Amino acid sequence: MDLKHNTLLDELDDYLLSIRGFSPNTLISYRNDLMQFFRFLKVRFQLADPEAEFDTISIDDVDLKVIKQVTLPDIYAFLSYATSKRSNIDSTRKRKTAAIKNLYHYLTTVIDTKMDDPTQRLEIPKVKSRDPVYLTLDEALSLLNAVDGEFYERDLAIITLFLNCGIRLSELTNLKIEDIQEETIHIVGKGNKERNIRLNDACVETLEAYMAVRPEDTEVPYVFLSKRKTPLSNRTVQSMVKKYVLKAGLNADKISVHKLRHTAATLMHKYGQVDIRTLQKVLGHESISTTEIYTHIEVDDVREAIYQNPLAKRNPGHKK
């Protein structure tokens, strides 16, 4: 029995991929969220074997008849379950809410199913704002200097692109030779949104050095290859970055590939005086509010701003 099969979810996947342009990773996350939601509904509506392990409950019989029974309190009960039993954090519950909203939007608006939409009044969980983790300039240089070994040119080019261009992991592993055009790379990002990123000298030099030693006897179109001349997987790149993070004496529990993207954004904003609109285009963010989290202000910057106030040195003295 295929525990993941469900006709409604298959139809939703087709719609979100072909029309909305959702990325494969988002589709996987949404499907997992909705599978959990469907299992919760079966338990709540007493449609599942009470002795069955939650994650083994089949969802192939969850159809429109079941979905039409769902009320707003049912959805809030699911989100409460996600918090108390699955230890979901705010951002995960927010994604689950988005997945459920997309399901009901598809059913009630796209295919015009005659039913109530309980998500119209569904509030989105608030996510606490956190400053992103990033490397300082010195730490970034230490990471670059830590690169060595058999795949020196390849690994240095990868980390240089992460730290200078702020590209996503999937964007790097999907980069093809045809996407490199002189001093520009063509990126296909989230939702198949395309953008071009201008390469600086460091990126051009490390890419040229890698391409000079990249295996020529292969028809694989992807830029970064493994020893077996196959495209590097996301997991392989993550492991490689972790190895150099440790070698540089940095905290591997906090510094991941995505944190290198945070670092690129922070360094561009802090040292390059890049405005937020330009940064949004470079990073490929649909919403500028997403970009704003990278423009965090350091304590020293706040202090300096206070001292730069033209009234800072005024001494009013004492009135007689």
Chain segment 89-146, per-residue pLDDT in tens: 888 999 999 999 999 999 999 999 999 999 999 998 887 756 567 888 899 999 999 9
What pLDDT is stored for residue 294 in this prediction? 60
Tell me the one-letter amino acid at 95: R
Residue indicated by tokens 């939650």? 54
How would you class 32 by CB atoms within 10 Å of its CB: exposed for 0-12, middle for 13-18, buried for 19 or more?
middle
Alpha-carbon separation of residue 13 from 17, 21, 155 (angstroms): 6, 10, 35
pLDDT above 90: residue 85: yes
Q: What angle do CA 166, 172, 174 make, to 5 degrees?
A: 145
pLDDT at position 206 over 60: yes
The catalytic residue among 105, 176, 186, 258 is: 258
Q: Comparing 41-45, 68-72, 191-195, 290-294, which segment has the lowest mean pLDDT?
A: 290-294
Confidence of residue 292 (pLDDT cuts 50, 70, 90): low
**Active-site hit among 168, 214, 259, 269:** 168
Tell me what the mean pLDDT of segment 200-213 comes to.
93
Phi-psi region of 49 (alpha: psi -120 to 50; beta: other; left: phi over 0): beta
Is residue 297 pLDDT above 60, yes or no?
A: no
Active site residue 314: no
pLDDT value, residue 114: 94
| pLDDT the model gives residue 299 | 44
Q: Report, at the CATH architecture level, how domain 137-299 is classified.
A: Orthogonal Bundle (1.10)
**Three-state SS string across the chain, please?**
CCCCCCHHHHHHHHHHHHCCCCCHHHHHHHHHHHHHHHHHHHHHCCCCCCCCCHHHCCCCCCCHHHHCCCCHHHHHHHHHHHHHCCCCCHHHHHHHHHHHHHHHHHHHHHCCCCCCCHHHHCCCCCCCCCCCCCCCHHHHHHHHHHCCCCCHHHHHHHHHHHHHHCCCHHHHHCCEHHHEECCEEEEECHHHCEEEEECCHHHHHHHHHHHHHCCCCCCCCECCECCCCCECCHHHHHHHHHHHHHHCCCCCCCCCHHHHHHHHHHHHHHHCCCCHHHHHHHHCCCCHHHHHCCCCCCHHHHHHHHHCCCCCCCCCCCCC
Whether residue 212 is predicted with pLDDT greater than 70 in this model: the reply is yes
* CATH architecture group of domain 7-121: Orthogonal Bundle (1.10)
Catalytic (active site) residue 285: yes
Q: Mean pLDDT over all residues of the chain?
A: 86
pTM of the complete model = 0.62
Active site residue 168: yes
- Mean pLDDT calculated for residue range 242-247: 94
Averaged over 263-272, what is the pLDDT?
78
The better pLDDT of the pair 192, 216 is held by: 216
pLDDT at 34: 97
Least confident of 88-97, 193-202, 226-235: 193-202
Q: What is the pLDDT of residue 1?
A: 58
In single-letter form, the type of residue at position 173 comes to T
Indicate which residue of 30, 210, 244, 294 is catalytic: 294
pLDDT of residue 87: 92
Residue among 176, 190, 242, 296 flagged as catalytic: 190
Active site residue 318: no
- pLDDT for the residue numbered 76: 96
pLDDT (0 to 100) of residue 291: 66
Residues in a beta bridge with 231: 225
Span 144-153, mean pLDDT? 94
Residue among 261, 262, 269, 270 flagged as catalytic:
261
The structure tokens listed for 25 are: 């990773």
Find the mean pLDDT for residues 218-237. Answer: 94
Distance CA(64)–CA(84), nearest Å, equals: 28
Q: What is the pLDDT of residue 129?
A: 59
pLDDT tier for residue 302 given thresholds of 50, 70 and 90: very low
Q: What value does the mean pLDDT take over residues 149-174?
A: 92
φ/ψ (deg, to 5) at 78: -65, -45
Per domain, the residue ranges of the chain are 7-121, 137-299
pLDDT at 130: 61
